[in-house]
Amino acid sequence: MDKNTHEQWADMQFGQANLNDPRRTQRLVSLAASLAQQPGVAVSKLSLSPADMEGAYRFIRNDHIEPKDIAEAGFQVTAQRAATHPILLALEDTTALVFRHQSVKGELGHINQGDNNRAILAHSILLFAPQNHDIVGLIEQQMWTRDILKRGQRHQHASRPYKEKESYKWEKASQNMVERLGTNIDKVISVCDREADIYEYLAYKAQNNQRFVVRSMQSRCIKEHDNKLYDYAEQLQNATPKVLHIPQKGGRRARDVVLDIKYAKVTLKAPANKSSQPDTAMYYVSCVEQGDRKDKLAWHLLTSERVTKAEDAERIVSYYEHRWLIEDYHKVWKSEGTGVEELRMQSRDNLERISVILAFIATRLLQLRFMRKTCSQADHNCEKVLSTQAWKLLWLKMEKKTIPESPPNISWAYENLARMGGWKDTKRTGKASVKALWEGWFKLQTILEGYELAMSLDHQNL
């Protein structure tokens, strides 16, 4: 929480960046530390000296600094951390960074959200270790814009070469991940939503022995009994039912559902217009809510993982349950943490440079949600996540009584940071939102800065 912690994190994350000049790397580390200390605050409002502010803007505007070189430094740190985990989920999704200020719209591409919106699209892969609930970090992120002059070319989808389509991003992302992880790719399982149900992508993963769980978007033709996939599922025997909690979201009420789980080995037939592709064998897990609701949950999961018993099928479903984390990551990056869409840079390149730095800060904020699970609260005190000064100030603010001699545990830090951020646990889940944790963290940082300023004034006898 203290200043040194932010600087240490920034140095670890970006200190090895190859920007062709060590002074640029030093400036990157300094800027990242300042942004990490005050996430969500505009660059112009950071607590920087005039010289450091000028240096920050020179860095952001420097055309000799490639955003991909900044990102690569962070990816390599994630790759090193990945080596310490026995199994990893590579959670993937695409989002649009929408910038509405007029001065930059001419450099951005269109999205399907109205004629006036322009955006940078980003495809991210977040590594998550399910065994100890650790957000390992970003291992891949691609950014691009759509050519506004080519808008409406979707009708040409069937005739365009696969590698020229936007959907090729899934395979390209896997290729980049393999390059960074090397042999550690063998313990990585890509977890993707329906957008990744692309035959070429599934075939690529299978042919290269890469592990995956992909939610099916369509009832594909399969060799088994010359059936369609979903029709075949109706013929399968139910495994042990599974109870799943669906949280409240938007206008949707939270509810517990009972799922019928079925599984089988299947062979997908290559589509008629892709006859050059081989048929592809994999496993299938059907996960459908019991009852007659029109909006009932239905997950049809395709996977490379061997599924021969009910426990295997339940494990595949549990992997897919973690996919929401990539959506939370994008939310933290865009609106509930670093506020990347509030940037007001005047060019696409400038936006990308600062967006990449914020992308890694967003993973750090997301880690707050798992601080209790990542660290054993029985074995670790809160100085694993807060400095001595920080937790003592948090104690005085929230407990309003004598500071204990020994630091409280991780659970205490989690709950009180969240409470200071406005969390009231009205749903009795014991789980705070990233937004509440971040706002509590930010408020504590403000208190800490005020304390340090008061101490400095006291030492100067002012």
What are 398-414's pLDDT values in tens digits? 998 899 989 998 889 88
Whole-number Å distance between alpha carbons of 63 and 79: 27
What pLDDT score was predicted for residue 240?
A: 79
- Look-up: residue for tokens 């699209």? 121
Among the listed residues 133, 145, 130, 141, the one whose alpha carbon sits nearest the alpha carbon of residue 93:
141
Residue 261 has pLDDT above 90, yes or no: yes
Residue 386 pLDDT: 81
Pick from 5, 3, 36: which is nearest to 384 by CA? 5
Other beta carbons within 10 Å of 332:
27
Strand partners, 259: 242, 289
Strand, coil or helix: what is 137?
Answer: strand
Grouping H, G, I as helix, E, B as strand and the rest as coil, residue 451 is: helix
Instruction: Give, as one character, the DSSP assignment of residue 403.
Output: P
- Output 46-53 pairs: Cβ under 8 A, ≥24 positions apart: 47/449
DSSP annotation of 95 reads E
pLDDT for the residue 248:
65
Q: Give tens-digit pLDDT for 156-212.
A: 556 678 888 999 999 999 999 999 999 999 999 999 999 999 999 999 999 999 999
CATH class of 375-457: mainly alpha
The proportion of the chain whose per-residue pLDDT surpasses 90, expressed as a percent, equals 57
Residue 85 CB neighbours (<10 A):
18
Give, in words, the CATH class of 3-66+346-360: mainly alpha
Domain with CATH 1.10.740.10 in the chain: 375-457
3-state SS, residue 87: coil
pLDDT tens digits, residue range 79-127? 999 999 999 999 999 999 998 877 777 788 888 655 567 899 999 999 9
Q: Which band of pLDDT confidence, cut at 50, 70 and 90, is reported for residue 395?
A: very high
Residue 96, token pair as written in the block: 């649009």
pLDDT digits (tens, 9 = 90+) for 306-364: 999 999 999 999 999 999 999 999 999 998 889 999 998 889 999 999 999 999 999 98
Taking the CA atoms of residue 86, residue 92, residue 97 and residue 98 in that order, the dihedral angle to the nearest 10 degrees is -150
- What integer pLDDT is reported at residue 378 of this predicted model? 42
**More confidently predicted of 287 and 383:** 287
Is the pLDDT at 392 greater than 70? The verdict is yes
What's the pLDDT score for residue 4? 53
Higher pLDDT, 305 or 384: 305
**CATH topology (fold) of 74-149+161-333:** Transposase Inhibitor Protein From Tn5; Chain A, domain 1 (3.90.350)
Give the integer Cα–Cα distance in Å for 274 and 317. Answer: 30
pLDDT tens digits, 209-230: 999 999 999 999 999 877 899 9
Q: Where in the chain is the domain with CATH 1.10.246.40?
A: 3-66+346-360
pLDDT interval class at 130 (50, 70, 90): very high
- Which helix (H) or strand (E) segment holds residue 126: the answer is strand 118-129
**Residue 340 and residue 357: Cα distance in Å, rounded?**
10
Q: Report residue 155's pLDDT band, with 50, 70 and 90 as the boundaries.
A: low
Q: Find, among 322, 362, 348, the residue nearest to 141 by Cα.
A: 362
Average pLDDT over residues 421-430: 83
Long-range CB pairs of 422-429 (<8 Å, 24+ gap) are 427/248, 427/254
